[in-house]
């Protein structure tokens, strides 16, 4: 009798446990900032809403649902069905990596520039380039890795940025030559693509793969076999903290 009552209670609370488990993972990922490495900013609000709704539904289930007083049949099978939904999200949330690896970057890179096929330079991109050019020529122009890759696709801008001092932040990727890299996220980490620029000059140091670096140097756009590959001739480099948004959005 007591065993049947325990079975009935377990079957009763299982849906609430699963829904609240999913809600906890979603809300913790959002509030702890881990969502910044997983999802484009435009979709993050929906994660919070989904977590709140699941949490509310789990409470309503406990308050409003009345389990049947009849004998529970197939309790193990019913619990197994709910565990199939609960275990994957808990398992995935615990060992999930902090960043995409350089191996992943090499696998996803579509060409010798190790950069994704970036969107065409629209009005915003042109405005960003104009703002960078308008900065004091005696001071490094603040730019993103993706800005330099986009400039390399536009001959007019190449002429204006060639030899220009720039200031760029990104992650270090060892190699010959080493690279400064950023990930571009369209929707989520699953579709993220790497964009990188080569580092020459004084790029040496005790840097580790995926370490965030603050790089100052001179922009160059050499052409190899018809392919323009942006590079930075480094004059100064130092370690820096990860930015609030480690991924860039197109």
What's the domain count of the chain? 2
d(CA 195, CA 144) in angstroms, rounded, equals 10
Domain's final residue, options 93, 121, 150: 93
Residue 113: per-residue pLDDT: 42
Same domain, 137 and 157: yes
Domain's final residue, options 93, 120, 145: 93
Instruction: Identify the top-confidence range among 120-124, 139-143, 230-234.
Output: 230-234
- pLDDT confidence bin for 230, thresholds 50/70/90: very high
Residue 111: per-residue pLDDT: 52
Instruction: Please tell me the least confidently modeled range out of 59-73, 118-132, 174-188, 219-233.
Output: 118-132
pLDDT digits (tens, 9 = 90+) for 87-126: 777 776 666 665 677 677 766 765 544 444 454 445 555 6
Same domain, 144 and 89: no
- Tell me the residue range of the domain where 29 lies: 2-93
Q: Say whether pTM exceeds 0.85.
A: no
CATH code, 133: 2.40.50.140
Tokens of residue 138, six digits: 């005696």
- pLDDT confidence bin for 4, thresholds 50/70/90: low
How many other CB atoms are there within 10 angstroms of residue 181's CB atom? 23
């Amino acid at each position: 009798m007591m065993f049947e009552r325990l079975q009935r209670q377990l079957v009763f609370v299982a849906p609430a446990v699963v829904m609240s488990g999913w809600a906890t993972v979603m809300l913790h990922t959002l509030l702890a900032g881990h969502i910044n490495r997983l999802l484009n900013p435009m979709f993050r609000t929906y994660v919070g809403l989904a977590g709140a709704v699941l949490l509310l539904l789990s409470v309503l289930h406990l308050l409003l649902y009345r389990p049947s007083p009849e004998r529970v049949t197939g309790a193990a099978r019913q619990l197994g069905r709910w565990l199939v939904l609960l275990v994957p999200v808990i398992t995935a949330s615990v060992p999930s990596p902090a960043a995409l690896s350089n191996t992943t970057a090499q696998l996803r890179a579509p060409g010798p520039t190790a950069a994704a096929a970036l969107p065409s330079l629209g009005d915003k991109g042109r405005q960003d380039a104009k703002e960078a050019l308008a900065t004091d020529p005696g001071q490094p122009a603040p730019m993103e890795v993706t800005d330099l890759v986009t400039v390399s696709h536009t001959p007019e801008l190449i002429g204006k940025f060639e030899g220009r001092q720039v200031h760029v932040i990104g992650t270090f990727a060892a190699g010959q030559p080493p690279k400064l890299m950023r990930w571009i996220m369209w929707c989520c980490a699953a579709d993220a693509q790497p964009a990188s620029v080569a580092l020459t000059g004084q790029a040496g140091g005790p840097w580790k793969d995926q370490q965030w670096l603050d790089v100052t140097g001179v922009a160059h756009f050499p052409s190899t076999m018809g392919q323009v590959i942006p590079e930075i001739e480094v004059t100064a480099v130092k370690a820096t903290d990860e930015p609030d948004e480690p991924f860039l959005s197109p």
